[in-house]
A and B are shown apart, each in its own frame.
Chain A
Amino acid sequence: MPAPMPDISRQYQRREQLTMLALAFPALLMILLLVVLPVGWLAWQSIWHDGFTLENYRRILAEDIYWRSFALTFEISLTVTVLAVLLGYPIAYAASIVSRGWSIVILALVVLPFWTSVLVRAYAWLALLQRTGVINQLLRQLGLIDAPLALVHNTFGTVVATLHILLPFMVLPLYATMQKIPRDLLQAGASLGAGPVLTFWQIFLPLSLPGVLAGCTLVFVLSLGFYITPELLGGGRTVMVSMLVSRNVELYDQWGAASAVGVVLLLAVAAIFFVVSRFVPLDRVLGQR
């Protein structure tokens, strides 16, 4: 039997693969150094203290404060996510249907707060919401309340400030998705007899769902790990997971315990993504289709 001809396209392919690998190398190195190694070190710390130990994890499971903190963190994140959809969807919708000039104005207003630091914005909310703050004083002068409302140093204040900071992460992916919905489809809906309400529910809303999911994922994950805002506006009573981590390190010098909390949070998020991805094609939602 004659030997098969060597396929020169094979050689070409191999060369191309090497080029791609070389181009991706700096990014891979960066991820290895800045993500894989630290996370690995974190996991290692949580199970190694003069020998293998699960003491840190046992404590998380056993102690009430950890449970409550995790529950509170998820509760706040979920609240923030739901509110962000409710507030962000109309903003993104408005930006996607008005003329180009106005949509730039709307988006600029959404993104503008990004230019101030998170710390400054948290203090600004403190000034607005505290007992002698602008809102309480205004309400009292109007005679609507007798005693100042507790707007801050609790879950409410934390949710308000976190929502404010994370809203752009909801609006921008929503706007990106909505803007790509062909206007033809809405015109077609109208021409086929559907009024504005039906056109919205049957055509616009379903086609904007990928943006809703992308925004929810971003906001939820980011608020899970929020630190400065709940620290300042929670007033010590709203202890989120990130604060447990920092306290373990700063107050008790317990690196192992802090690492264990971090690992549990990471696993929880991974589990959530896994469950969600069973129902929703996340790769299609988050990536370019």
Chain B
Amino acid sequence: MTARLFELMLKAAGYTVVISVASIGIGLLVGILVCAAKLSPRPWLRWPAGVFVSFFRGVPLLVQLLLIYNLLPAVGIVVPSVVAALVGLSLCTAAYQAENLRGGFASVPRGLLEAADMAGLSPWQQFRRIRAPIALRLTVPALVNEAILILKASSLVSVVGVIELTRTAQNLAASTYEPLLFYSVAGGLYLAINWIVAGGGALAERGLRRGRLA
């Protein structure tokens, strides 16, 4: 493989990272809303949130991507394929992140909130100062895990024509008749990015260690 082709692969890897980071970010925001709706006492909020989570966790991402890619034009929305890919990835990860957040909130020991209650904190202050910070810390490992899953899952957006790492490897493998080489390099790049993400996650967890549940 020439240096030029390798540079092409590296660029594609960068594109994969951009798509993944954007999806994780949008997914986190949507996930927070979905989680809030799921924890809401109002059934008309809780119920659709439940269906949302169940659907996006129960249907293969590939099918979701194909659906969104074909559904948007069918209802008259014409967008580039990368937008359809972003919508699909973000909604999928939002469903998982909503569940992670819900788990984090459920794991905050009741006693800590009783202590806040005794100290006179209002329900909103309890949420903002005690419940949310502890729950977010508890979900950091799950968030890192989700980031790695989405990075790998982003390979599927190649199917709807986004020229990211997997699609680039596919194109080069087809034109050079060297599938072993290009898929191995792509795999190595995915692995390297994942290790960096996992390492960063471990550092973040270490940084938060002093404030872990005693």
Same complex: no
